[in-house]
Amino acid sequence: MTPEQEIKQAALQRGGDQVGIAAVSRINECAPPGHRPDDILIGAKSVIVLAGRTTPRGAWRSPDYRTHYNNRDFPRVRTGIAMAVAKFIESKYGYYSIGQVPPPIGFNPSLSFKLCAEMAGLGARSMAAGILLNRELGLLNFAVCITTMPLTADQPMADSVCPHPSCVELWQKHKSTPCLDVCPECLSGELEGERIKWMRYDRRICSTRAQNEGMGALQRIVLEGTNEPDPERRKTILLGSFSRAVMEAVASGNVTGQCSECVRVCPIHREAQKLTAKMPTAEQLTEGNAQGRVV
Ligand code: SF4
Ligand code: SF4
**pLDDT, tens digit, 9 for 90 and up, residues 168-180:** 999 999 999 999 9
Give the mean model confidence (pLDDT) for residues 236-262. 85
Distance from residue 27's CA to the centre of ligand 1 (Å): 27
Which one, of 7, 286, 15, lies nearest residue 143 by Cα? 15
pLDDT score recorded for residue 72? 86
Domain spans in the chain, listed from the N-terminal domain onward: 3-160, 212-252
pLDDT score recorded for residue 291? 52
What count of other Cβ atoms lies within 10 Å of the Cβ of residue 204? 9
Query: What are the backbone dihedrals phi and psi of residue 142, each rounded to the nearest 5 degrees, phi first?
Result: -130, 155
Alpha-carbon span 80 to 147, nearest angstrom: 16
**Residue 53: in which H helix or E strand, if any?**
none
CA–centroid distance for 189 within its chain: 21
Q: Helix 231-239 and helix 215-227: axis angle, to 10°? A: 170
Q: Is the pLDDT of residue 219 over 70?
A: yes
The model's pTM is 0.85
Alpha-carbon span 290 to 98, nearest angstrom: 23
**Residue 236: in which H helix or E strand, if any?**
helix 231-239
pLDDT score recorded for residue 286? 55
pLDDT band at 258 (very low <50, low <70, confident <90, very high): confident
Smallest CA separation from ligand 1 atom 4, residue: 206
pLDDT band at 10 (very low <50, low <70, confident <90, very high): very high
pLDDT score recorded for residue 294? 44
Q: Is the pLDDT of residue 255 over 90?
A: no
Which atom of ligand 2 lies at the shortest distance from residue 161's CA?
3
Distances (CA, A) of 81 to 19, 134, 194: 11, 21, 37
DSSP state of 61: G
Q: By the 8 A CB rule, do 241 and 249 touch?
A: no
Q: By the 8 A CB rule, do 271 and 112 touch?
A: no
Alpha-carbon span 273 to 59, nearest angstrom: 9
* DSSP state letters, 102-146: SS-SSSS-SS-HHHHHHHTTS-EE-TTTT-EEETTTEE-EEEEEE
Mutation test of ligand 1: which of 69, 180, 205, 209 has the most ligand atoms closer than 8 Å to its C-beta? 209
Whether a cis peptide bond, with omega within 30° of 0, leads into 163 is: yes
Q: Is the pLDDT of residue 142 over 80?
A: yes
The finding on whether 151 has its CB within 6 A of some atom of ligand 1 is no
Burial class (CB in 10 A: 0-12, 13-18, 19+), 39: middle
Smallest CA separation from ligand 1 atom 2, residue: 259
Distance from residue 186's CA to the centre of ligand 2 (Å): 14
pLDDT score recorded for residue 162? 95
14-71 tens-digit pLDDT = 999 999 999 999 999 999 999 999 999 999 999 999 999 989 999 999 998 888 888 8
